[in-house]
Amino acid sequence: MTNYDVIIIGGSAAGVTAAITARKYYPDKSILLVRDEELVPIPCGIPYVYGTVLDPMKNLIPVNNMMTASKIEMVIESVVKINREFHLIFTESDQSFHYEKLVIATGSNPIIPKIEGIQLKNVFSIKKNTIYLKEIQTQISNSKKIVIIGAGFIGAEMAEECKKFNPEIEINVFEMQDHPLKFVYDTDLCILAEKALVDQGINLHMNENVVKIIGNEFVEAVETASKKRVEADMVILGIGATPNTKLAHSSGLELGPMHGILVNRYMQTIDESIFACGDCADKVSFFDCKPSGLRLASIATMEARIVGANLFDVRRTNYGVVGCFSTVLNHKAFAGAGLTVASATEKGFQICVGEAESVNRHPGIMPGGDLLKVKLVFERSTGRILGGQAYGALSAGELINAISAFVSAKMTAEAIATFQAGTHPALTASPIAYQLVNAAENAIIKMHH
C-alpha cells in the first residue's frame, strides 16, 4: 500500500484539470492520478475524428506529458472499490492506495435507450474509448445508409462529419423535438441550424421517436412511433449522457436529484475527505439554484479548478452552472450562453431582448468578413443579463465566452452598452457597429418604453 495526500480517479477533462490545479495550490503534496484508459480522447473533438481529423489517435489529451510536467504520479487501472473508513482505494489488480483527500472524476456514460433491437451489430453510442471510436470509423467507411438518433450537438456534428467524410452516404437524423438543438438555442437559431444541415443533403426527421431497430444479426432499418421506416446499415446514438456514479454509489456516497454525486458549493461530497467534479457530479443552475442536467467540458474543468484549490483550504465557491455552448454547422457558428428566451420565461423572468447584426470586420471587405448576429436576454426590472446567443461568423465562438462572463458577473445592459471594447479592422466589427454594445443599447431602449 502506498500513501498519497491526494488521489484523483479519472483522467479526462475534470480529473486532469483537478490534478494540475491541486499541484499549483499545494506544491508540496503527493498526488496520484488513477485512470482506466491508456489513451484519453478529447471529448468535444470526438465527432470531428470522422470527417476532419480522420484518426482517433490524433484527438487525444496528452495526459502523460501533462502529469509528468506537474510532477503527478499515474496508475492506469480501474478503481473497483473505495473504503471510506480507512481512506483506501482498490484497483482491479488488487493494488491499494491510501489517500488523505480523494477526488472522483469518473465522468459520464452515453445514454442507451430501451429500444427494441438496440443490441444489434453496427449500433453504436459515442463512448470515450479510442479503440471503440476506431470501430465506429471503420463502420462509417463501410456504410451507405447511416441513421443518427438525436439532433443535439453530438447528433448534428456526427451527421455533418459523416457527410464530410463521404458525401454519398445517406444520412437520416431522427429527433423527438421539432427542431435540432432545441434545448440550447431559441427557435430562430434552431431553424437556421436545421437549414445548415439540410443544405448539406442531411435528411432530418423531426417530431419522430425511434421505437424499433430492425434486423437479424446486423441493423437493417429503424422504425418510429408513427410507423415511418428508414433503411440503415449503421445506427449512431447521440442522445446524451448519464453520470458515471457506480463507484461513488457503491461506497455509500449520496446521489443528487439529477443522479450525479451530491456535492456542496465547495464540491465536497457528504464525506468531507472526498470531492467530486465533472459529469459525475450533480449540478444546480446559476440562475435559480434548481437542479441542472447540463454536462459540458467547460463546466467539468470549472468544477475541477474549484476542487483542486479547495482540497486542504476552502478558496473557491461554485455558484452553479451558466451553460456556454458553441458549434459550427455548414461553416456558420451557433453559440449560446446562459438562458434563452424560452428558458428565461420558463423560470419566471420578465425579460427584454436586444439584437444587433453587423459584419465582423471594418470595412466589411476586409479578409474574413462575415455577418455576426448577437441576441442578448435581460431581466426587464433590473437590466441584468441572463443570457445571449450569437450566429454567423466563426468569431462567435470566442464572443460567446465574453457573454458567458457577463452573465456570471451579473452585468447590466447599461454596463455592457458602455464597456470599453477593443476593436481592430482585421479582427472585429467597427466600434460604431459593435454587436454586443448595440444589442445591449437596443434592449435598454425597449426597457424604457
CATH code of 376's domain: 3.30.390.30
C-alpha cell at 269: 461530497
Residue 1 has pLDDT above 90, yes or no: no
Whether 317 maps to a domain, the answer reads no
Within this chain, do residues 296 and 389 fall inside the same structural domain, yes or no? Answer: no
> Do residues 173 and 151 touch, judged by C-beta distance below 8 A?
yes
Mean pLDDT score, 220-246? 97
CATH number at residue 82: 3.50.50.60
CA atoms of 130 and 108, how far apart (whole Å):
16
Instruction: Tell me, yes or no, whether 257 and 225 share the same domain.
Output: no
Single out the residue in 206, 239, 272 at which a domain terminates. Answer: 239
The pLDDT value recorded for residue 141 is 97
Q: Are 124 and 235 within one domain?
A: yes
Can you give the residue range of the structural domain that contains 438?
A: 324-447
pLDDT of residue 389: 98
Q: d(Cα 339, Cα 57) in Å, to the nearest integer? A: 36
Query: Would you say residue 213 lies in a domain?
Result: yes
Residue 319 inside a domain? The answer is no
Q: Is position 380 within any domain?
A: yes
Q: Is the pLDDT of residue 402 over 90?
A: yes
Check whether residue 121 and residue 207 sit in a common domain. Answer: yes
> Can you tell me the distance from the alpha carbon of 106 to that of 280, in angstroms, rounded to the nearest whole number?
6
pLDDT of 255 above 90: yes
Half-sphere exposure of 269 (CA within 13 A, CB side): 25
101 and 18 together in one domain: yes
pLDDT band at 449 (very low <50, low <70, confident <90, very high): confident
**Does residue 40 share a domain with residue 63?**
yes
What burial class does residue 219 get, using C-beta atoms within 10 Å of its C-beta: 0-12 exposed, 13-18 middle, 19+ buried?
A: buried
In degrees to the nearest 10, what's the CA dihedral of 303, 306, 309, 310?
-110
Q: What is the pLDDT of residue 193?
A: 98
For residue 47, the model assigns a pLDDT of 97
Instruction: Please tell me whether residues 163 and 50 are part of one structural domain.
Output: no
Q: What is the pLDDT of residue 448?
A: 87
CA distances from 120 to 174, 221, 238, 303 (A): 18, 11, 17, 38
262 and 376 co-located in one domain: no
pLDDT higher than threshold 90 for residue 369: yes
pLDDT for 434 equals 97
Nearest-angstrom CA–CA distance, 133 and 143: 15
Mean pLDDT of the chain: 97
pLDDT value at 433 more than 90: yes
**Residue 60: all three cell numbers together:** 487525444
Same-domain pairing of 116 and 232: yes
**C-alpha of 91 from chain center:** 29
Residues of the chain with pLDDT > 70, as a percent, come to: 100
One domain for residues 197 and 126:
yes
Identity (one letter) of the amino acid at 338? G
Question: Residue range 342-350: average pLDDT?
Answer: 97
Mean local confidence (pLDDT), 302-319: 98
CB 158 within 8 A of CB 182: no
Instruction: Report yes or no on 315 lying in a domain.
Output: no
Residue 47: is the preceding peptide bond cis (ω within 30°)? Answer: no
Domain tally, the chain: 3
Which pLDDT belongs to residue 230? 98
Task: Indicate if 101 and 185 belong to the same structural domain.
Answer: no
Q: In this structure, are 262 and 304 located in the same domain?
A: yes
Per the domain annotation, does 318 fall within a domain?
Answer: no
Query: What confidence category does residue 95 fall into, taking pLDDT thresholds of 50, 70 and 90?
Result: very high
Domain-ending residue, one of 239, 267, 287: 239
Closest CA to 288 of 243, 324, 322: 322
Residue pLDDT, tens place only, 57-70: 999 999 999 999 99
Could you give the CA distance from residue 269 to residue 264 in angstroms, rounded to a whole number?
7
Q: Is 156 part of a structural domain of the chain? A: yes
- Which of residues 177, 204, 239 is at a domain's end? 239
Residue with cell 437556421: 192
Give the N- to C-terminal CA distance of the chain in Å, as an integer: 70
Residue 120: the pLDDT is 98
The model's pLDDT over 278-298, given as tens digits with 9 standing for 90+, comes to 999 999 999 999 999 999 999
Task: Quickly tell me which residue has 449560446 as its cell.
Answer: 336
Instruction: Give dist(CA 341, CA 115) in Å, integer.
Output: 33
Q: How much is the pLDDT for 435?
A: 98
Q: How confident is the model over 320-334, as a mean pLDDT?
A: 97
- CB-CB contact of 393 with 367 (8 Å): no
Residue 157 resides in a domain: yes
pLDDT of residue 172: 98
Confidence of residue 99 (pLDDT cuts 50, 70, 90): very high
| Mean pLDDT of all residues in 199-205 | 98
Adjacent-strand bridge partners of 32: 7, 73
